[in-house]
Structure 1
Amino acid sequence: MVLELHVWGPGFSLPSIDAQCLATIAYFSLLVPKGSWTLVASSDPTISPTQELPALKNGSIWVSRFRNIADYLRQYSNGEWDLDGDLTALEKADSVAFSSFVESRAQVLIDLSLYVTSGNYYNSTSPAYGSILQWPNQWVLPPQLHAAAKARTESLGLSSLDLEAVREQQKREHSTAVTAGRIPQNFIRRPRDTVSSLLGKTPQQHQFRLDALTGDLFGPLEELLGDKTHLLSERGPSSLDCLAVGYLSLALVPELPHAWLRDLMLRKAPRLSQFVERLRRELYGTVNVSDAFANGGNSPLPWRAPERARLATIGSTLLNSLADATPILKDIRMNNRLRETAESADSGLSELESRSLSAYAQAQGRDTLLSIATVVGGLTALAGYMVHVGAFSPQDVGEHKHDEHEASETTIPES
């Protein structure tokens, strides 16, 4: 049976716009023989039971996330398809540690570069999604991904404000208020810096902040690579190499209006940059968006055109979007998704973590239902009180309608 790998579609001349999908494609390209798998740019996470991409389908079996898919391939092939099979115990330990390191540190920088930086998101990232998504997902998913990226980076203090235009408008309003004397200078609080505002200032003022974020990622990887052909071993690539090329390709390859992440990577980690560029050319080549929708096209990757969205799928997407935009329903759905993720067999969580997260989601759900019951009870009590004091009664409504009816039948005599 041919394995189906469902991913977010191409972008920036790469076979996917998502780092986990790129890492999984690299893993398949290195291990799985041609003819044994197809690559589907479905770009729709709802096709997977876990609502995530990448997702591997083998008959009725679905597996999502890079690490889970790699584990499944090893079991499915009886150990034949395992990039880490020849690693020593020390190399395997380094692989686990650095894989978590890359996934956490690199994702933050990609979020800042492709989504939080306004010029990059509106001029490059959002149009890239529009070219691979079917209606209505092309209007629904990019804002959701944008908001998720802002939420993931909020703790850094660099994503409090997304739009450059709004930031500049705030500055003009504060300047005008100070000039007019309406607000004393010492009472005006300076807004938190954002990536966009950082990029608009001189490097001497704030370059060290971006240097610290990028240096924490690129420095250790540059040192780990050294003069080797791969990150862990001269013997060949490992799963860590796949993750590195997946995440760092999105830092190095995209042509963006504000290419600050690529510039810093080239300057801070020249050997690592050459390694990523070499490996991504070997594994991906140069991908056109049309390749993913033409059953292969001129790409070396085994593309299979995704199916057109059915009417039922479109209706479900619209209803889900409406539900996620409704405050109470949004909270209920979010808690349900969190609980399902915690209880999923391929969640990647330990048994203790799964139980704790599930209990938290259930408690949040109960709190939401209690809030709803409190509001409904309060409104009911208010209506009962108004009826009791005579401020409102069904009889008043009937008399009011009767008076309106009589007034409508009254005619003005002709003079």
Structure 2
Amino acid sequence: MALELHVWGPAFGLDSIDPECLAAVTCFRNHVPREHWTLIASNDAAVSPDHRLPALNHRGTWTSGYTEIISYLTKQKYLHIDDDLTPLQKADSLACASFLATRGSGLLAMSLYVSPRAWAEITRPAYSSLLPFPLTWTVPPAIRTGAIEKVEHLGIGHLAAEVDAEESPSTLAETTSTGFLKLRDRLGPSKAMQPEHTAAIRFQHFAEDFYSVLDQLRGEKSFFLRDDDDDSGPSSIDFLVYGYLQLMRVQTPHPILKTVLEKSFARLVAFLHSKELSTRSYELPWRQPTPRGALGLIGRFAEGSIEATPGVGDSWRKWRKGGVISTYSNGTTDDVRDPTQLILAAGTLVAGVAALGATVLFRALSPFGAATHRFEPTRAKNSGFNQFGGIRYGRY
């Protein structure tokens, strides 16, 4: 099996928690013979040199990202689903993919990651089921941080605000009916509508606008680029749209995306039930990922700790990718590795490993104040089993 597809694993009743991974899995299942590929829920972006999933390993050659994987497989003659597209259709496909990666990704981020209740009740537990300890401490928060950054361009990123440090840790953050954190009162020309209600309406507006663009692009066609009388079936962009829309239908505590889609865009819902997309021709060729081992887990935990450290994370990522490219006055470039940043990164690495060791030790200890059983010999005048030892109870 020459093709190894590495993805984020199943969640929410779907084959993957990530839209691009879900699109890749669906495309492979429908167009790549089962004996030609294996599916690995590695749940580790570091498996690829680009630190991105989905990632394809073809005899040692790595390709990351759904669009890039489709392009690679087309050149390698594994896929032919885009071979007959016209230049205009190819341009529309690229534009749609860019639209999904920006607006669609931002809406998914708001629904599954930024919303505190959705994050706490469904998304964070889903990642915890995919990741081994202690990566459950570093990977999900990093993913959520990236998701929060995506929504900034939508103009409602302030809903990602965390509970202020001045608030008591024992006090639960108050949320609105939309599932987002309730914001403090703001001064403004009108008090008739609270900011959180305004943000919820704006979020619904963005969702309607997003679905409208997709609905107009598809129109009355069976698929997004091909007419009804075309027997070629779906193209690569159809599978990508499928991945995004399926995740938007996830039942969140406040399912704005799901409600808008199913209530107002029947043609898109019908598209999701197309037999060319939803029918499983065979069971997925799942394969267990290579075990990371204790040292591998510690290394990934420490790396995640470094990336989450303010002032060090960016430098560490640049160092990991081979240094910082500097341009000199004569026009030449060179890779520069800042030893100061390396020292900071190494110090954080040591601190991360030490914290992990302390955590593992703490988890191995009995709870403080719990009953402790101590076995010691007792002095007994009578013969019998009690001469071999007794049990004393106490708290130590």
Q: Deviations over 1:292-333 (max 9, x none)?
A: xxxxxxx72111122322122112112213322443432311
Among 223, 245, 253, the alignment partner of 1:230 is 223
Shift of 1:155: 3.4
2:281 counterpart of 1:274? no
Q: Could you tell me how far 1:94 is from its partner in structure 2?
A: 1.6
Residue ranges of structure 2 left out of the alignment (5+ in a row): 164-171, 189-193, 345-396
Structure 1 vs Structure 2: percent identity of aligned residues? 33
User: What's the counterpart of residue 257 of structure 1?
Assistant: 253
Distance in structure 2 (CA, Å) of the matches to 1:263 and 1:172:
22
1:338/1:149 Cα in 2 relative to 1: closer, same or farther (>3 Å)? Answer: farther
Q: Which has the higher helix share?
A: 1
SS of the equivalent of 1:38 reads strand
The equivalent of 1:411 in structure 2 is: none
Match of residue 376 from structure 1: none
Alignment partner, residue 143 of structure 2: 145
- Tell me, yes or no, if the aligned pair for 2:142 and 2:308 is still in contact at 8 Å: no
- Residue of structure 2 in register with 1:23 after alignment: 23
Residues 1:102 and 2:109 aligned together: no
Indicate if the aligned counterparts of 2:251 and 2:258 stay in contact, CA closer than 8 A. no
Q: Which runs of 5+ in 1 are unaligned?
A: 176-187, 191-195, 286-298, 344-354, 373-415
Task: State the Cα RMSD in Å.
Answer: 3.5
Offset from partner CA, 1:96-145 (integer Å, 9 cap, x none): 22221122211010000000111111100111111111222222211111
| Contact 2:30 2:276 survives alignment (8 Å) | no
Amino acid at match of 1:220: V
Instruction: State the alpha-carbon separation in 2 of the partners of residues 104 and 189 from structure 1.
Output: 31
Q: Distance in 2 between matches of 1:316 and 1:168?
A: 37
The 10-residue stretch of structure 1 (303-312 or 31-40) with the greater mean CA deviation from structure 2 = 303-312
Q: Give CA deviations for 1:219-269 in whole Å, capped at 9, x if unaligned.
A: 1211222222211113210111011001111101x2211111100112232
* 1:145 to 1:174, Cα distance in 2 relative to 1, 3 A: closer
Matched, 1:39 2:39: yes
TM-score by length of 1: 0.67
In structure 2, the CA distance between the partners of 1:211 and 1:368, relative to structure 1 (3 Å rule), is farther
In 2: Cα distance, 1:37 partner to 1:229 partner: 28
The residue type equivalent to 2:146 in the other structure is A
DSSP-derived class of the 1:160 partner: helix
Measured in 2, the distance between the counterparts of 1:307 and 1:339 equals 26
- Please show how residues 82-231 of structure 1 align to structure 2 within 5 Å: 82-162=80-160, 165-166=172-173, 189=187, 198=196, 201=197, 208-231=201-224
- How has the CA–CA distance of structure 1 residues 272 and 2 changed in structure 2, closer, same or farther, with 3 Å as cutoff? same
Distance 1:214 1:322, change over 3 A: closer
Alignment of 1:323-402 (within 5 A): 323-336=306-319
Matched, 1:306 2:306: no
Structure 1 residue 280, shift from structure 2 partner:
8.6
Shift of 1:337: 5.6
Return the structure number with greater relative CO, CA threshold 8 A, min gap 6.
1
Rounded to whole Å, the distance in 2 between the matches of 1:322 and 1:172 is 30
Q: Which residue of 2 aligns with 1:407?
A: none
Aligned length, in residue pairs: 316
Query: Which protein has the larger Cα radius of gyration, Structure 1 or Structure 2?
Result: 1
Closer/same/farther in 2, CA of residues 139 and 367 from structure 1, 3 Å limit: closer
Q: Distance in 2 between matches of 1:49 and 1:84?
A: 27
Structure 2 CA distance for aligned equivalents of residues 42 and 154 of structure 1: 29
Partners of 2:272 and 2:278 within 8 A in 1: no
Contact 1:6–1:39, Cα closer than 8 Å, also in 2? yes
The corresponding residue for 2:303 is 320
Query: Normalised by the size of structure 2, how large is the TM-score?
Result: 0.70
> By how many angstroms is 1:92 displaced?
1.9
Q: 2: distance between equivalents of 1:85 and 1:100?
A: 20
Q: Name 1:413's counterpart in structure 2.
A: none
Residues 6 and 41, structure 1, Cα contact 8 Å, conserved in 2: yes
